[in-house]
Structure 1
Amino acid sequence: MKKIVLMILVLFANSSLSSQIIGINIQESIITWNGKKVTGEHKGTINFKEGFLVYENEKIVGGDFIVDMTTINNTDQTGNDKLKLEGHIKSFDFFNITDFKTSQLVFKSITDKGKNLYKVIADLTIKGVTNPIKFDLIINKQGATAKLKVDRTKYGIQYGSGNFFDDIGDWTIYDEFDLNIDLKF
């Protein structure tokens, strides 16, 4: 939180009067995830901790979002199966939320493609590892949406990967997972 506040103050100090910072509504903004394996898939949600977009002359010029990894939720199962999967995803095998309670996405480069569509290059940090990621951001009156495809192995998450383990067959979990981001202002 202190980092976000400091960044906002720096942006205000270094920007013209035409800059505007729009915070997201963290109660209404959501990330849905979809992870696939050879024998099926699982879906769920993750909540934001905080985040904002920076506008200058009515164009997006920046953004910074922190995700609360402790809120990982499995939405396609119930009961013990749900709890078991959530526990495993939160464990050392995957996101290790004990040591890494948050993840972060920081916009680095933004290209206006017209009609409220932007090409974004950002730094995505998961488990303390940062890699660049590219995606399109669509702005609408109530917020914004984006779809990201993340290769978990770039963040040290190798559990069940067919690229790291030869003999797992039907237990293989695909390296890429999808994030659908729905921001509300």
Structure 2
Amino acid sequence: MSETPKWYVIHTYSGYENKVAQNIEKVVENQGFQDLIFEVRVPTETVVEYKDDKKREVERKIFPGYVLVKMILTDDSWYVVRNIRGVTGFVGPSTKPIPLTEKEIEDLGVEVKTVEVDYQVGSGVKIVHGPLEGFVGKVEELDVDKDMVKVTVSMFGRDTLVELQLGQVELSKD
């Protein structure tokens, strides 16, 4: 199959998110849908709660009533997921579910993209994406955790410090 898997949002009865996720995984395993349905997630976050003067960490659902599924949408995969007990439907028009966009996936933290860099502070780099594409500069600051690099580039005869994402620059071959 040439189509790539995408993330879809499934609406469930509130409180049934984990059960729905388990049932989807069970059906995938039992009926051999591993090539169509790849991953099932219930987005949660850990929250510190203070109750009766006691501090405790609690895991809460970020989107109660919703489950995320990474799958290739076919009639079979749609039918399997749609008919799991507790599922009320896909998010989107009833005839065709709409996948999440790359920006939504990134904002939700569903898939964390890691960028490995082969440059360091003091390295000469070339900007490969964005409005300054083609400029060459020197790395002044590097913050991998924040996906940020500060580069000094020469523009209009002056050195200017610009802040870019790690993926926007690469090690200069000059």
Q: Same fold (TM over 0.5)?
A: no
Structure number with the higher strand fraction is 1
Say which one has the larger Rg: 2
The TM-score normalised by the length of structure 1 is: 0.25
Query: What TM-score does the superposition give when structure 2 sets the normalisation length?
Result: 0.26
